[in-house]
Amino acid sequence: MTPAFLPFAQPEIGEEEIAEVVDTLKSGWVTTGPKARRFEQDFAAFLGDKSGDDSRSETLHCVAVNSATAGLHLALEALGIGPGDEVITTTHTFTATAEVVRYLGADVKLVDIDPVTLNIDPAAVEAAITPRTRALMPVHYAGLAADMPAMLDIARRHGLKVVEDAAHALPTTCGGALVGTLGSDATVFSFYANKTITTGEGGMLVTRDAALAQRARTMRLHGMNRDAFDRFTAKVPSWYYEVVAPGFKYNLTDIAAALGIHQLKKAQAFQQRRAAIAAMYDAALADLPLVLPPGPAAGDQHAWHLYVLRLADDAGVERDRFIERLFDAGIGCSVHYIPLHLHPYWRERYALQPAMFPHSQHAYERMLSLPIYTRMSDPDVQRVAQAVRAALR
């Protein structure tokens, strides 16, 4: 009997999430309302903000949105990125990181990765800076923190903004501090179905900049601003708002936030299970012709959104054939990512060639992502490891 197909990713939704969604449905308030607000407050508390006071400069402002893509767009919009500007990011990411720059009419400068961590290479960032550069967008690839001390230092020296794509990085630490608290201008998390916690679709923009948070709150809902009324009278009638800009429709529903409230409570436990799976893979695959993913720096935490293997040059099998063998053995896997420089849009718009990104290209040709998610059992993990071993023979 062949065992059931093991999917590449699956969310873990518990009875608490289901009960909270049912409660939301019965409450009569299904779109953005009290649960989205509670999710924002819980998120700030999770990241360590104990103040609960929006007026304090150290306060973490959390703005719930309907995707990380929306959050990244809002962050860059609030920072004033526009035509004529350049934003530097890694070629080794999902297209969402870069597309939001184009939404605003600015240009993307893609750079190569560090060959060990697969994170954006600070030296490549520094070399790509021009007089038009306005912002840097590091991605915490796979859930391993990018070199944020270096990125923040470059930004400070060149007067640049920093927006972190933390779609993989809940919870990740860098120098002992959680991603989201590292001192960039904004950090954006994703709650897409396969991320470390999920609301189906959703995201969170986190910033210490009160003005940025205010702009993002306005722009996530049609550019509508109720605070504008305050200059006329202290009491704003419930029906009154002013449109101050052509905003977007990026608000998170209370149905989605209901999931997020309970997923967030489990985020540390989920991370521990993912880290345990990564450790099992590390032990089971150590003797094979593979490059195993790098662990976190001493004392730091890796979110382990992805477990990315690379075939060694003497592996004796091509990556595509290797993935076919795993699928034949009933194991779902994937590739993260087809680098942006290989996609027609990015390649043609910026005349990109693989030789410009040797480390990303080298890694891409040899890489695949194994299943890593909390619902996998220990036997599931051993089954994947055995299938990897067999596929190398």
Residues that bind ligand PLP (CB under 6 A): 67-69, 93-94, 96-97, 139, 165, 167-168, 190, 192, 203
Does the active-site annotation cover 195? yes
Q: What is the identity of the amino acid at 197?
A: I
Amino acid at site 239: W
Which amino acid, 311? L
We find the least distance from the C-beta atom of residue 322 to ligand PLP, in angstroms, to be 23
State the catalytic residue, choosing from 35, 161, 195, 249. Answer: 195
CB of 68 to ligand PLP, least distance (A): 3
Give the list of residues 6+ apart from residue 78 with CB closer than 8 angstroms, or none: 186, 211, 212, 215, 216, 219
DSSP letter, residue 73: H
Cα radius of gyration rounded to whole Å, the chain: 22
- Smallest gap from Cβ 168 to ligand PLP, in A, equals 6
Beta bridge partners of 203: 65, 190
Q: Exposed, middle or buried, 354 (CB in 10 Å: 0-12/13-18/19+)?
A: middle
Q: In 186-298, at which residue ranges do the beta strands (DSSP E only) sit?
A: 186-190, 203-207, 224-225, 242-243, 290-291
If we measure between CA atoms, which residue out of 332, 326, 327 comes closest to residue 390?
A: 326
Amino acid identity, position 74: L
101: how many CB neighbours lie within 10 A of its CB?
Answer: 25
Q: Which is nearer to ligand PLP, 193 or 243 (CB)?
A: 193
Closest CA to 88 of 291, 350, 367: 350
Q: Would you call 209 helix, strand, or coil by DSSP?
A: coil
- Nearer to ligand PLP by C-beta: 139 or 372? 139
Q: Are 254 and 32 in contact (CB under 8 A)?
A: yes
Residues with a catalytic annotation lie at: 195
